[in-house]
Amino acid sequence: MKKLLPIIIILIALSSLWVMKSMKKPPETRQVPKKKPVPVKVITVKRKPLLLPVHAMGTAQPMTRLNLFSEVSGKIIHAHPVIQTLGFFNKGEILYRIDPKPYELAVAKAKADLAQARVEFLQEQARGDIARRDWGKSGLNAPTELAVRTPQIEAAKAILDAAEQSLAQARRDVDYTTIRAPFSGILKQVFAQKGDNVSPSERMALLYSTEAALVMLPVPRVDLELLDLVPFPGQKHSAKKRVVLTDPAGPSNISWEGQVTGSSAVFDPHTRVMHLAVRVEDPYALKKQRTQCPLVFGTFLEARLFAPAEQEMVKVPRSALYKKNTVLIIDADQLYTKSVTVIHQNQSHAFIRDGLEDNTLVCIGSPDYFAEGMTVTPVPAAMEAETI
């Protein structure tokens, strides 16, 4: 019995292990979920000929402004109604009238002086004729100038000429008492009213012409080259360029058209831009009956200028640029980088000349995580408005 005891113990232990193992639950198998592809917004690009746009900002101001001064001194006896209210006036209208009586008196005196000077000149001429005739009867040699009163005649003629000029000046002074508008425009500021006494050194008003508006546009050198507006050795440049102007704070369907007529011809040493002068004809639409909305002086404007010739390229939202000259494209639901040639970009769009073919899917906006060849889910995005 003692010899069988170890064998019995081993059998009992093995039986216990077998019972315990049969009662143990098998381990649960856990399936690792597959990562879902990252959704990305995409557009399908297409190459087409485009005019490259250049955007700039500027303020509408009058092409001509004039500080109005009086040519004579005196009391203002009449003022145009616009002097009281400000606003518009027409060319030739009387803005001010200065009391003309002192200048009319000066005209009368100048006429009397002229008549007296003419009499004295004629008298000297007669005296000279008598002196020459008497000298000829004397049989003497050629007379001296003094003997025939030549200096006296010349002096009388000079006095007569001066009297004529004095009368002309007196008449001009009478004309100067009536101050007319030199052009049609807007009365911006008034410094003299009816009843005031003015002198030639006092400013009376500030006038703005409504014939044309001027918009000065700051444009960087790279954009000037794109517009072909800066001449370089051996390179011709375009003449006047059409400019489309809009008010960023106004209705989007209202615009004005202008032309580049000149430039500052120098680069600003601080901002490195050159200012282009854009002329807009008849900004207040006063010359013709038109439905055009007036372009009010002081309006802040956005200008669009265009390159002189079309180029075939792809236009994409600026958010499509992954790096300076790189975009993200989708091929077979996988994301890759693609090198491109960006020839121009503005606040909203980038213009790509090389690197993209038609129907290429381009990612808009960079995903939070990127790895070359990662799987994505393309989500079509609406292309931004075509206004450039």
Q: Can you say whether the dihedral through the CA atoms of 159, 164, 168, 174 is positive or negative?
A: positive
Burial of 261 (0-12, 13-18, 19+ CB in 10 A): middle
Following CA atoms 3, 5, 7, 11 in sequence, which dihedral angle do they give, to the nearest 10 degrees? 170
**pLDDT of 239 strictly over 80:** no
SS3 content of the chain, % helix, strand, coil (to 5): 25, 35, 40
Q: pLDDT by residue (tens digit) across 68-101?
A: 999 999 999 999 999 988 899 999 999 999 999 9
pTM of this structure: 0.69
Q: pLDDT by residue (tens digit) across 341-373?
A: 988 887 788 899 888 999 999 999 878 888 888
Distances (CA, A) of 220 to 141, 227, 269: 85, 11, 12
- Dist CA 162 CA 248 (whole Å): 62
Q: pLDDT by residue (tens digit) across 94-122?
A: 999 999 999 999 999 999 999 999 999 99
DSSP 184: S
End-to-end CA distance of the chain: 106
| pLDDT for the residue 328 | 92
- Confidence category of residue 24, pLDDT binned at 50, 70, 90: low
- Dist CA 217 CA 280 (whole Å): 13
The overall average pLDDT reported for the chain is: 86
DSSP 375: B
